[in-house]
Amino acid sequence: MNKSGMPCPFVGCGSSDAFSYHTEKQVGKCFSCDNSYPHKGMVLNSWASEKYPLQDKYNMDDMVVKVQQVYPDNTPSDGLICQPFRGISLSTMEFFGVKTNDTKQVYPYPNGTSKVRVLPKDFSRNGGFKADSLFGQNLFPVGCARKITVCEGELDAMSAHQMLSGGGYINPVVSLPSASPSGKLWGNVSSYLDSFDQIILSTDNDDVGRQVAEVLFDLFPSKVYIMDHGKYKDANDFLQANDGRAYKSAWWSAKKYSPAGFTAGAEEWLKAVHEETPYEYTPTFSESLNEVIRGWVKGGVTVVKALPGTGKTSVFRASQHDLVVKKGQRVGVLHMEEMKSTTARGMATYHLGKNVNTKEDQEFYDVSNEELDIAISEVVEDNKFVAFEVNPQDPIEDTLKQAKYAVTVYGCDYLFIDHLQRLAYLSGVDGATAALTELGVRLVEFSKRRNVGIICISHVNEDGKTKYARSIEEEAIQLIELKRDMKAEGDDANLTSIEITKNRPYSRLGEAGQLHYNPETTMVRGV
């Protein structure tokens, strides 16, 4: 007997009445997704095998691609159900196990934790959410298809899967757990992603999307493909515009990712001329310095050199606070000769305008612990100011690794290294020059590739020559010399003169004003 108007058993179809099933022959066909039942490689809804039994000659294990849906025990039960949302169908929500109500959504992850989204776009952690796996990873077995699609968000992953599904065949789509994926995530999922022939990125055309592409290219240089979303921001935009055909077209037209470094053809050359900015600048806290160098430059290495005790670290501190708080930049710092508490108190000093560098100073200026905590929290909120350390056993290589993490994981715009000679000492005096020569070349390459500004402190001898690090001076895009007469009378001893001896992007050289150090507040200001 042939029954029509039945729900389709295939995942991704969602039709409630387009399936026709012959109960005696135990075969069927969906007139919505145009798929015949059975066929090898089917992806079925959990209820399908009971509702539509297969003939004895068919082995269900051989015919069906099995998925493992894992729903965490800690998923809230306060009125949350699977229901359509932003164009995503009920069957898609059920397949991914995403539940929602009027105020929030819960996304289950394969590690047994869930991410909670409080609408419209506030995320919280539920049950200790761990961002160490891919959303949807548990639904698509290792190597179950030639291609896997990676999106930036859970809604986009569900949208992409819905638009790409059809014919009852599996089409793996997963999502990153956050906008700044950690190194732990990539370590956990690398073997899984490597089981597919192609990794298609359906990500936003922004810094996050490009960084993800670079990380995946480093891991799988021959497998990464990039989709061009055109006028749409993401996969869910395609879905809500009812333009699944355009999404499929973009998916099939995805281009193999190529790392930076190659320019060919008129289109690419013209794009470079009209769209690329050779260097980006962020003004410093000193107007006189800005007049000569324009500002801290991205895409290159700046070396700040001076005798010990000249106040280079104070200049760094003033620059870091200014970049983070006043200029809205994200900053990573490597201060090898000070504790993290010293770094934090130094930033709080600039934030409060009061000296809180020590507990004694804090008490003297009548700053409460609550005021101190608020100031530090405001400076470091949203991971916009981060500090990192290096392994003394392998300082050069580890510096480069930590710099990469600071940029890819925390999105740092500028990195400060204080100071180069400390890295040389850790490398051993005999090999110090060679180590810093290698570091200089690789830092320059890194700064260009990531479009990050790297600012290094370098000590000089009494004769003004840099110890161990002359090669970095040669590689530097900007060279800034600080001079301070500690033996001068009165307040003149607190004045630091600035001279620009190298300024490749802007070409202006010479004096760039003075800085004043206040011994009471310990703060540096432009004169």
How high is the pLDDT of residue 399? 85
Q: Looking at the structure, tell me whether residues 12 and 100 fall in a common domain.
A: no
Q: Is 120 contained in some domain? A: yes
For residues 325 and 251, state if they share a domain.
no
306 Cβ neighbours under 8 A, 6+ residues apart = 312, 459, 460, 481, 482, 483, 484
CA dist., res. 43 & res. 67, Å (int) = 8
Does residue 360 carry a pLDDT above 90?
Answer: yes
> In which band, very low, low, confident or very high, does the pLDDT at 261 lie, cut at 50, 70 and 90?
low
* Confidence at residue 433, expressed as pLDDT on a 0 to 100 scale: 77
299 and 203 within one domain: no
**Inside any domain, residue 451:** yes
Asked if 252 and 284 sit in the same domain, the reply is no
Pair (218, 331) in one structural domain: no
CATH of the domain at 501: 3.40.50.300
Helix, strand, coil % over all residues of the chain, rounded to 5: 35, 25, 40
Judge if 395 and 252 occupy the same domain.
no
- Residues 189 and 134: beta-carbon distance below 8 Å: yes
Tell me: do 418 and 451 sit in the same domain.
Answer: yes
Domain membership of residue 489 (yes or no) is yes
pLDDT digits (tens, 9 = 90+) for 463-474: 666 666 677 788
pTM summary value:
0.51
pLDDT score of 75: 47
DSSP secondary structure, 17-85, as one string: S-EEEETTTTEEEETTT--EES-TTB-B-TTHHHHSPPPTTS-HHHHB--------TT---SS-B---B
Q: What is the pLDDT of residues 156-191, one digit of tens each?
A: 999 999 898 865 567 899 998 887 777 788 888 888
Read off the CATH number of the domain in which 249 is found: 3.40.1360.10
**Model confidence over 207-236: pLDDT tens digits?**
777 888 888 888 888 888 988 898 888 999
Q: What is the mean pLDDT of residues 37-63?
A: 75
- Please tell me the predicted confidence (pLDDT) of residue 71: 44
Do 514 and 407 share a structural domain? yes
Q: Are 110 and 223 part of one and the same domain?
A: yes
pLDDT confidence band for 494 (50 / 70 / 90): confident
The token pair that represents 423 in the structure block: 């890295």
Q: Is the pLDDT of residue 260 over 70?
A: no
Q: What is the pLDDT of residue 70?
A: 45
Asked whether 310 and 515 are in contact (CB, 8 A), the reply is: no
Choosing from 256, 290, 323, the residue where a domain stops is: 256
- The range of the structural domain enclosing residue 190 comes to 90-256
In a domain, 263, yes or no: no
Average pLDDT rounded to a whole number, residues 366-392: 89
**Predicted confidence band of residue 79 (pLDDT cuts 50, 70, 90):** low
Model pLDDT for residues 387-411, shown as the tens digit of each residue: 988 887 777 888 888 888 899 889 9
Q: What are phi and psi of 495, to 5 degrees?
A: -95, 130
Which of 335-349, 440-454, 460-474 is least confident?
A: 460-474
Domain match, 169 and 296 both: no
Are both 391 and 489 inside the same structural domain?
Answer: yes
Q: What is the pLDDT of residue 42?
A: 72
Q: How many domains does the chain have?
A: 3
Predicted local confidence at residue 48, as pLDDT: 80
